[in-house]
Structure 1
Amino acid sequence: MPSPSHHTQDLRIDSPHGKLFVRIWSPDHQSPSFEEAPFVLFHDSLGCVELWRDFPSKLAAFTGRPVVAYDRLGFGRSDAHPGELTFGFVGDEAERAFPLVMDHLGVTDFIAFGHSVGGGMATHCAARHREHCVALITESAQAFVEDRTLKGIREAKQGFQQDGQIERLMKYHGDKARWVLDAWTETWLSPGFAHWSLKDEVERLDCPVLAIHGELDEFGSALHPQRIAELTDNRSQVLLMEKCGHVPHREKTDQVIQAVGDFLR
């Protein structure tokens, strides 16, 4: 896939609890235009705008659509989160930050693309704002709390106790890094979160769905995309990627972008 030609714009948007950092990638060095529904990217539990790396620019160039990504409150360049995450944090995104970003940018119709827990947030946004959601793409999304997911989180938590590991997070989240790590591990490992699922939201969807998953994903089995597909009947496609782990957009960038382009066509 050729190197993308694109234009980027960074913004900071007010929210009730602090500013949100937003980046827009536009194809072909154009200023942002939302005549066509843009992609809106939802990052994972340790993620942020910067950690999407060159995927958004390639996606914009290949599809000809703008791409919007933002750091959730507490992550990346956004302001600190005011407290602990509630067990409803996945669904809260559709009611709080996401509408603020869309309103500020003047975006009506959108394509939701979410990675890992961001896939759950993208699903909530697609269901809550279904009259404006053109399509939903989930990547490595958890549809329920699986033993494999919890095992992966426990192993990651232990790994972050090693020297230098929290410093890796600080590169992207600054002094918010410890909060970011604890928000992920302690929320998901809490007994109070054990019965969380996307079932109700998936059943409310009214758009085509592409569920991408790596067969070697250490944080979830193929049951997750299959569950999403089962609940949305013939409006869903499942792409199970061979020899791929939890981050298909980084491990198999070109294949993911090609699959998204084919899906939208």
Structure 2
Amino acid sequence: MAEKVLVAWALGKHEIEYRWVNLEASAGRVMVFLHEGLGSASLWRDFPERLCRRLGLRGLVFSRWGYGASTPRLPHERWGPDFMHRQALEFPPSFLAALQIDPRDRQVWFYGHSDGGSIALIYAAHHPDALKGLIVAAPHVLVEEITLESIRKARQAYLQADLKARLARYHSDPDSAFFGWCDAWLDPAFRSWDIRDLLPRIRAPILAIQGYDDEYGTMLQIEEIARLAPRVELLKLPRCRHSPHRDQPEAVMEAVERFFHAHGWMGGRGGAPAKP
């Protein structure tokens, strides 16, 4: 069941929807799930719980500001080309502190999907000692035309077809979620957005996942991560579009489990003391 916490950060005070999964596991080991550009806590469905039970750790699932049941973006508020940097650098420290999660005395992993993957990479580059590791699925590290073309198609579907009705199942204010994301990505200034210069600064090991049929990006995205970041494993999935955890859930969970085994993280080895 989702709860809410009030988080004060650079853009003001916002109520953030969140829920814990696999609470039976030690509180000293936490995987934080960062959703996609049109995602929310509920849109993950049961994937976080299934994965965390398999790995033997707790999961924290939440909706970023403007999404799900969190405080919506006001109609006049526009997200600029730096919106993912702001969501990565200004928000997580305040949110984690509000939930009494200190990466200095807990083991924390990030699992980021799409924009959430980019946010995870930005955070890891600026806080190189905060994460044990990160999994990024269909992340963006630069802007490709295929991405912009798919967002233009999504905008048309939102305005003229049933996309708004479908998003309303997962967002209390679908306009907040959709136009915050869409308008930022389609801003001409966003065309030069590029986070590749940050990748060499990431110390934590990375598992980067991409589907061959992803309509929002090509293999270039994760190949650039592997080229520039020091500790990267790649998973390239056939018959997989933009959401690997929905299109190929078993393959994703198997790869994450191998990733955890390879780094000695399974079975609570090396865990930090549990917190209440």
Q: TM-score, normalised by structure 1?
A: 0.90
Is 1:228–2:225 an aligned residue pair? yes
Q: Is the 8 A contact 1:25 1:68 kept in 2?
A: yes
Is 1:205 the counterpart of 2:202 in the alignment?
A: yes
Q: Tell me whether 1:41 sits opposite 2:41 in the alignment.
A: no
Q: After superposition, where does 1:68-79 map in structure 2 within 5 Å?
A: 68-79=60-71
Superposed displacement of residue 9, structure 1:
6.3
Aligned residue type for 1:106? Q
Structure 1 residue 152: Cα displacement: 1.1
Gaps of 5+ in 2: 262-276
Matched, 1:217 2:214: yes
Alignment of 1:97-116 (within 5 A): 97-107=91-101, 108=103, 109-116=107-114
Question: Residue 161 of structure 1: CA displacement?
Answer: 2.4
**CA deviation string 1:144-178 (max 9, x = no partner):** 0001111111112112223433121122212x211
Query: Where does 1:156-175 land on structure 2 (aligned, <5 Å)?
Result: 156-174=154-172
Give distance in 2, aligned partners of 1:153 and 1:51: 19
- Answer 1 or 2: higher relative contact order, Cα 8 Å, separation at least 6: 2
What is residue 5 of structure 2 aligned with on the other side?
Answer: 12
Give the distance between the partners of 1:23 and 1:144, measured in 2 at CA: 31
Letter in 2 for 1:213: Q
Separation in 1, partners of 2:4, 2:70: 10
**How many percent of aligned residue pairs carry the same amino acid?**
31
Unaligned runs of 5+ in 1: 1-7
For 1:191, which of 188, 192, 195 is the aligned residue?
A: 188
Asked if structure 1 preserves the Cα contact closer than 8 Å seen for 2:81 and 2:187, the reply is no
**Contact 1:117 1:142 survives alignment (8 Å):** yes
1:240 Cα shift?
A: 0.5
* One-letter amino acid matched to 1:133: L
Pairing 1:53–2:22 present: no
| Aligned: 1:261 with 2:257 | yes
| Cα distance change, pair 41–87 in 1 and its aligned pair in 2 (3 A) | same
SS of aligned partner of 1:132: coil
Aligned 8 A contact 1:13 1:22 in 2: no
Question: How many residues align structurally?
Answer: 252
Aligned residues: CA RMSD? 1.6
SS at match of 1:210: strand
- Distance in 1, matches of 2:243 and 2:197, equals 26
**TM-score calculated relative to the size of structure 2:** 0.87
Residue number in structure 2 paired with 1:237:
233
CA distance in 2, matches of 1:126, 1:89: 16
Q: 2:121 aligns with which of 100, 123, 144?
A: 123
Q: What secondary structure is seen at the aligned counterpart in 2 of 1:194?
A: helix
Separation in structure 2 between the aligned mates of residue 104 and residue 245 of structure 1, nearest angstrom: 35
